[in-house]
Amino acid sequence: MGSGVFPLDDELALLPGGLSPRVSEGLARLCAQRPFRQAAADLAFFWGVEVSEATARRHATLAGEAVVALHEAELARLEAGLQPPTPAAGPVAIQQVSADGAMIPLVGGAWVEVKTLAVGTVAAAGERDGTPGARAVDLSYFSRLADAATFTRQATVELARRGTERAGVVVGVMDGAVWLQGFLDHHRPDAVRVLDFPHAVEHLASAAQATFGAGTPATATWLDTQARDLRLTGPATVLAALRQLPVAQARDPTAATAARDATLGYLEPRTAQLDYPGFRTAGYPIGSGAVESANKLVVEARLKGSGMHWAPRHVNPMLALRSVACNDRWAETWPAVCSHLRGRHHHRRLARHRDRHPLPTPTPSTTPPATSTPRPTHSPPSSRPKTIVDGRPTAAHPWRRSPALPQRPPSTRI
C-alpha cells in the first residue's frame, strides 16, 4: 500500500503535527513577534495549548523555511522572465530605496551582519525647522543574512513587487558603503545617489573632535555651522572649512591631521551625493532613517534581545517571518506556507516509504538462453492424400494405416 494525503487535509488546511490550523498559525505568528519561550507561554494563555520552547522554535523555523522557499521560487520565476504571481504595484513618481546592515549575535559568540532593504513612496513633509522636506511612506522591508551579491539578487522580489523598475525617479539614500552603490547599479543604474545626511555629518564630527576635542564647545559650534551650510548651501563651503581645520593646534596634531584627511578622502569622491540643496528643491529625501528604523523593527527587535544567540540556519527563516509580519502580509502569505508544508511532508513520507519498501531490482540470469527448436514443416494441404472420399475412409486414413487395428478383409458380393 502506498503513502498519500487524506483529502480533507487540504480542505481543512491541516499541517504536520498535532496542532489545529488556527493554533499552528497563532504559534508561528507569536514566534515572529516574541522569544520562543514567551510565545509558548502566550499560546498556553490564549489558546489553552501547551507546547515546549523547543517545539515553538521548531514550528517557527519550519514556517520560516517555507517563506524562504516561496521567495526563492518567485525569484526563479522573475529571473526566468515570467510574470510574478503577485502583481507589481503601480508606478510612483518618486520612490526611495535604502539598504543597510545590522549586527546580530550567533551561537559561539560570533557577530554577523544582516542586510535590510527599505522601499517607500516619497511624499512631501515638513522638517523640524519648518522648511519643506520629503520622507518615505508606505514602507516595506526585506532582510537576509547574505553576502552583498546574494542579497542584491534576492532583493529583486521585493523591488519587483514595489514596481521599482517602473518608478519615475528612484532616490537611493545610502551610506558610503561600496556594495550599496553596486546594489543601485544592478537594480536602477539611473537612480539619484544621495549620501545619507546624518552619515555625512558623522564624518565631519570625527574630524572636529580630533581637532577641538570630544564634547567641547568649539567642536559643537564648528559642527553646527558645517551641518547647516551642508544642508542649505552644499558641499563646497563645508569641504573648504574642513581643509582649514587648525589641526596643528590640536592636542595630538598627527591624529587630527589623519582624521581630517580621512574625512576629506571620504567626502570629496562623493561630492555629487552631497548636493542636499538641490535634492531638497527637487523634493527628494536626504536621510536614510527609513532603513535605520527597519534595522530596529525587522531585525533587532526580534533577533538582538537580551541573551539571544542564533544558529546560522535559524536566522533567515526568522527574518522571513519577521518581514511577512512587518510588511502586514500575513493573511496573504500563510495559505501558501500551509500548502508548502503539506507538500513537503507528503514528499518526505513518500521518500520514507520508498526507503522502507524499495522496488526489487532484476538479477542477472546465470542459465544460458534457451535455443529454439525448429518447428516441423508440413506439406502444403494440396500435396496431402485425401483421407475421406464419398464419406468413406481411404487407404490413407489413419484408421487404415494403424497397425493396431486388424485389417478387414474385402467384402465379396454374392
Cell of 304: 538582538
Residue 413 binned pLDDT confidence (cut-offs 50, 70, 90)? very low
Reported residue count of the chain is: 414
Tens digit of each residue's pLDDT (9 = 90 or more) over 178-220: 999 999 999 999 999 999 999 999 999 999 999 999 999 999 9
More confident residue, 347 or 50: 50
Query: What confidence score (pLDDT) does residue 82 get?
Result: 84
pTM of the model: 0.80
Which pLDDT value is given to residue 18? 78
pLDDT of residue 394: 72
What residue ranges do the domains of the chain occupy? 7-85+328-355, 88-193+289-308, 197-286
Residue 342 has what pLDDT? Answer: 86
CA-CA-CA-CA torsion for 278, 279, 282, 286, nearest 10 degrees? -150
Sequential DSSP letters for 63-117: HHHHHHHHHHHHHHHHHTTPPPSSPPPPP-SEEEEEEEEEEEEBTTS-EEEEEEE
Which has more pLDDT, 307 or 145? 145
Q: What is the pLDDT of residues 84-116, one digit of tens each?
A: 766 666 789 999 999 999 999 999 999 999 999
Backbone phi, then psi, for 135, in 5-degree steps? -150, 165
User: Mean pLDDT lowest for which of 32-36, 284-288, 346-350?
Assistant: 346-350
Cell digits of residue 321: 517571518
Three-class SS of residue 242?
A: helix
Query: 230 versus 87: which is more confidently predicted?
Result: 230
What is the per-residue pLDDT for 370?
Answer: 59
Q: Which pLDDT score is estimated for 358? A: 74
Query: Which letter does DSSP use for residue 252 in this model?
Result: S
The answer to whether residue 16 scores a pLDDT higher than 70 is no
Confidence of residue 20 (pLDDT cuts 50, 70, 90): confident
Residue 409 clears pLDDT 90, i.e. is over it: no
Q: Tens of pLDDT along 242-284?
A: 999 999 999 999 999 999 999 999 999 999 999 999 999 999 9
Q: Output the pLDDT for position 414.
A: 37
Span 387-400, pLDDT tens digits: 666 666 777 666 66
Better-predicted residue by pLDDT, 254 or 124 = 254
Q: What percent of the chain has pLDDT over 90?
A: 71
Range with lowest mean pLDDT among 168-172, 289-293, 301-305, 363-367: 363-367
Query: What pLDDT score does 83 carry?
Result: 78
| Residue 412: band (very low, low, confident or very high) from pLDDT cuts 50, 70, 90 | very low
* CA-closest candidate to residue 181, choices 194, 168, 169: 194
Cell of 202: 558623522
**pLDDT of 404 above 70:** no
pLDDT of residue 157: 97
* Res. 3: pLDDT tops 60: no
Give residues with Cβ within 8 angstroms of 71, minimum separation 6. Answer: 154, 157, 320
Q: Are 198 and 233 in contact (CB under 8 A)?
A: no
Terminal Cα-to-Cα distance of the chain (whole angstroms): 86
pLDDT (mean) for 327-341: 93
pLDDT value for 347: 55
